[in-house]
């Protein structure tokens, strides 16, 4: 340390402390260090046979029920329990949309979550008071899984290049914005095709009429 320049000593000291922590930690320890350049990275238990664990920061995703537009995405440092994060997701969605959701369809990890007054939470284990419409809507909750998959593979949610917890928060929001922009552009392309078909349809009908008349007089 004596040969290290004065302006680099804080960085070197911090790096040595991380290396010491990395060497001393045991497999069963909590809050382990998984990355030297990103100490906020955590081990997230996915509960899937193909990929039981992921390393990163947990992110909550909230979408509209029919269209699938993202109305809330936020990073959740500390790997909190899902049921303790629902009020944060609802708060963000209310701020961004200027409306409080009335019905929320969640997976089983959100059972017993505290929500604001006027918000009803539904999951697939509920039986009392579940109508046919609610059963259909609860089944549709699984539609968010391919949305998350698309954002991971196509929207670059899987890898974050921004540093620190603030970088995680910005990255999550930007991925949600990118997903909405891709959906809007897809709709605009479809609308453009329909406009072109509408404009060309009279010309196609005229060509068919002229062909029939030419065949009649031939």
Q: What is the DSSP string of 124-166?
A: TT--TT--HHHHHHHHHGGGHHHHHHHHHHTS--S---S-HHH
Q: Does any domain span residue 71?
A: yes
pLDDT for position 29? 85
Segments of the chain scoring below 70 in pLDDT? 1, 201-218
Closest CA to 31 of 78, 76, 72: 78
pLDDT in tens, 104-143: 999 888 888 888 888 999 999 988 889 999 999 999 999 9
The secondary structure of the chain in percent helix, strand, coil, rounded to multiples of 5, reads 50, 10, 35
Domain interval for residue 122: 59-183
CB 176 within 8 A of CB 150: no
35-59 tens-digit pLDDT: 888 888 998 887 777 788 888 899 9
| Number of independent structural domains in the chain | 1
Residue 176 placed within a domain:
yes
Residue written as token pair 């936020």: 74
Residue 49 maps to a domain = no
Give the model's pLDDT for residue 211: 55
pTM, entire model: 0.79
Instruction: Evaluate whether residue 101 is within a structural domain.
Output: yes
Strand partners, 54: 44
The DSSP letter of residue 49 is S
CB 82 within 8 A of CB 45: no
| Cβ within 8 Å of residue 86, ≥6 positions away | 104, 106, 110, 113, 114, 115, 121
pLDDT, residue 213, reads 47
């Amino acid at each position: 340390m004596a040969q290290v320049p004065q302006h680099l000593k804080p960085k070197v000291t911090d790096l040595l402390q991380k290396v010491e922590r990395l060497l001393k930690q045991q497999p069963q320890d909590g809050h382990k260090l998984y990355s030297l350049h990103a100490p906020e990275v955590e081990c997230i238990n996915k509960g899937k046979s193909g990929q039981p664990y992921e390393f990163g920061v947990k992110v909550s995703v909230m979408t509209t029920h029919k269209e699938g537009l993202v109305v809330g995405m936020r990073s959740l440092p500390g790997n909190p329990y899902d049921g303790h994060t629902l009020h944060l997701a609802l708060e963000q969605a209310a701020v961004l949309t200027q409306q409080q959701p009335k019905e929320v369809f969640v997976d089983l990890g959100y059972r017993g979550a505290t929500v604001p007054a006027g918000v009803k939470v539904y999951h697939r284990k509920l039986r009392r008071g579940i109508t046919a419409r609610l059963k259909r809507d609860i089944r549709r909750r699984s539609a968010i899984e391919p949305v998350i998959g698309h954002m991971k593979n196509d929207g670059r949610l899987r890898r974050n290049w921004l540093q620190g917890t603030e970088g995680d928060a910005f990255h999550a929001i930007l991925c949600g914005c990118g997903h909405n922009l891709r959906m809007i552009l897809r709709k605009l392309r479809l609308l453009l095709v329909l406009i072109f078909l509408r404009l060309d349809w009279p010309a196609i009908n005229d060509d068919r009429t002229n062909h029939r008349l030419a065949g009649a007089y031939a």
